[in-house]
């Protein structure tokens, strides 16, 4: 005699429902670009069985767990300084401490990303167009 259990109907379908839910979580984790695509994910179905004293009835507990890939870490660099004897930190935005740069909006900013006020663009009259001079010399 063999034992056959249909997990689609076992525990009123709850076993299959739990298994499908965890498989769905694994698939969503695989699809997440913030996780390592090579990381292994697992789904574990555990049946815990306890018999009564006469060994006629078996209480069964169904547990389904998944192990997902963690989100990838992200990094940044902090600039450390002191203010009234207290250590302070700010994220380095420019790439090099003390360097200014143009932010995504095209504004001049300090190394922490603060827009520099009062900066004026050079006047066009100071710009030399060497292409125009080359055409005139021909």
Token pair 């066009």 is found at 124
In the DSSP assignment, the letter for residue 2 is: -
Residue 127 confidence class, pLDDT cut points 50, 70, 90: low
- The yes-or-no verdict on residue 135 having pLDDT over 70 is no
Residue 93 confidence class, pLDDT cut points 50, 70, 90: confident
pTM above 0.75, yes or no: no
What pLDDT shows up at residue 126? 66
What pLDDT shows up at residue 102? 86
Kindly state the average pLDDT of the residues 14-40: 96
> For residues 57 and 46, what is the distance between their CA atoms, to the nearest angstrom?
19
What pLDDT shows up at residue 118? 77
Kindly state the average pLDDT of the residues 90-95: 86
Token representation of residue 54: 């006469």
**5: part of which helix (H) or strand (E)?**
none
Token representation of residue 80: 């450390």
Grouping H, G, I as helix, E, B as strand and the rest as coil, residue 86 is strand
Q: How far is CA 55 from the centre of its chain?
A: 51
Residues 49-80 pLDDT 10s: 999 999 999 999 999 999 999 999 999 999 89
Kindly state the average pLDDT of the residues 5-24: 94
């Amino acid at each position: 005699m063999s034992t056959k259990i249909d997990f689609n109907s076992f525990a009123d379908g709850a076993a299959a429902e739990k298994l499908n839910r965890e498989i769905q979580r694994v698939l969503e984790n695989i699809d997440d670009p913030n996780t390592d695509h090579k990381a292994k994910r697992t789904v574990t179905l555990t049946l815990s069985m306890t018999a009564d004293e006469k060994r006629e009835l078996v209480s069964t507990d169904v547990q389904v767990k998944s192990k997902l890939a963690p989100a990838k870490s992200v990094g940044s660099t902090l600039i450390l300084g002191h203010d009234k004897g207290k250590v302070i930190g700010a994220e380095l935005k420019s790439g090099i401490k003390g360097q200014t740069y143009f932010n995504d909006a095209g504004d001049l900013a300090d190394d922490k990303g603060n827009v520099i006020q009062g900066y004026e663009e050079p006047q066009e009259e100071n710009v030399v167009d060497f292409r125009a001079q080359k055409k005139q010399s021909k």
